[in-house]
Amino acid sequence: MEWSIQDIAKKAGTTSRTLRHYGELGLLVPSRIGGNGYRYYDQDALVVLQRILLLRELGLGLPAIADVLAGQRDTAAALRTHLRLLEQEQERIARQISSVRTTLDRTEKGEALMAEEVFDGFDHTQYEQEVTERWGRDAYEKGDGWWRSLSDQEKKDFQGRQVAIARDFARARERGLAVDGEEAQAIARRHVEWLSVTVTPTKSYVIGLGEMYVADPRFAKNYDRHAEGTAEFVRDAMKVYAERHLSDD
């Protein structure tokens, strides 16, 4: 039994573009490619995709996932590991639910709150491992410290800048503007300036980030919700800008 790329993307809650990207990286090889160029996946491929999606949920980047898949040839053993990790996550969420219920109950009764109960099960560093893997420990600590130093209004303003940039990219995409044109490059410059608040944008960093915008559904949907294909437009515009104006020195 096999499924088309469109069927698998729909059932997995992802996109055909993402599955093709996994294929280009050697993570998810189709069982066959039809004469029409369509990709088809068998049951073994479905298990591999499940493992990829589980590892993504656990915060691993694609290079780390490639290493995991290469090092775990025993599918049953790998699935047992995933199951154990998911059960741990299930336990953490159950603790969060219990924490909120306790807070609600004590608040309604006018009783004192215990800090250990209020924050049980919460993890405010959920992206720590992923950021550290991609860009190093210093990048995580700098970004985390900077974010915590902001006021609520400053955080809102910073996020608002990103939304405006994404919307302008989408409008440029819908108008059919060239990624290397003056207007698209002006938006790319704004985006790099926005990034420079927390990091020093190098050529490889900006190009890699653009690739992640397309490959990672969490980022792709933030751009494509404005207009389909915006994530790819952003990636290409950022690559042009980086090659023209940035270095890795």
Tens-place pLDDT, residues 146-197: 666 777 778 778 778 888 898 899 999 999 999 999 999 999 999 999 888 7
* Angle in degrees, CA 12, 14, 17, rounded to 5: 130
When pLDDT is averaged across residues 19-41 and rounded to a whole number, the result is 89
Q: Among 133, 168, 139, which residue's Cα sits nearest to residue 62? A: 133
Other beta carbons within 10 angstroms of residue 103's beta carbon come to: 16
Give the model's pLDDT for residue 118.
45
Query: Tokens 């573009």 correspond to what residue?
Result: 17
Give the model's pLDDT for residue 135.
52
Q: Among 60, 92, 40, 63, which residue's Cα sits nearest to residue 218? A: 60
How far CA 230 is from CA of 6, 52, 146, 185, 225, in Å, comes to: 20, 24, 29, 14, 8
How far CA 225 is from CA of 35, 69, 112, 153, in Å, comes to: 32, 31, 44, 25
Give the model's pLDDT for residue 115.
46
Amino acid at 112: A
Give the model's pLDDT for residue 128.
53
Cα-Cα-Cα-Cα torsion 216, 158, 123, 140, nearest 10 degrees, comes to 70
Q: Per-domain residue ranges for the chain? A: 2-71, 75-118, 139-245
Q: Kindly report the backbone phi and psi dihedral angles of residue 46, in degrees, each rounded to the nearest multiple of 5, phi listed first.
A: -60, -40
* Angle in degrees, CA 68, 123, 207, rounded to 5: 55
Give the model's pLDDT for residue 183.
95
Find out whether 123 and 104 touch, Cβ atoms under 8 Å. Answer: no
Domain topology for 2-71: Multidrug-efflux Transporter Regulator; Chain: A; Domain 2 (1.10.1660)
When pLDDT is averaged across residues 193-210 and rounded to a whole number, the result is 84
Give the model's pLDDT for residue 210.
87
Predicted confidence (pLDDT) at residue 141 exceeds the cutoff of 70: no
Predicted confidence (pLDDT) at residue 76 exceeds the cutoff of 80: no
Give the model's pLDDT for residue 111.
61
Between 208 and 100, whose confidence is greater? 208
Give the model's pLDDT for residue 185.
96
Domain topology for 139-245: Globin-like (1.10.490)
> Which tokens is 206 given?
């900006």
Amino acid at 53: L
Give the model's pLDDT for residue 66.
83
3-state helix, strand, coil in the chain (%, to 5): 70, 5, 25
- pLDDT bin (cut points 50, 70, 90) of residue 236 is very high
CA distance 92 to 86: 10
Give the model's pLDDT for residue 182.
95
> Which tokens is 56 given?
């993504």
CA distance 136 to 130: 9
Give the model's pLDDT for residue 119.
46
Tens-place pLDDT, residues 33-53: 988 888 999 888 888 888 888
Tens-place pLDDT, residues 84-136: 767 766 776 776 677 677 667 766 776 654 544 444 544 444 445 555 555 56
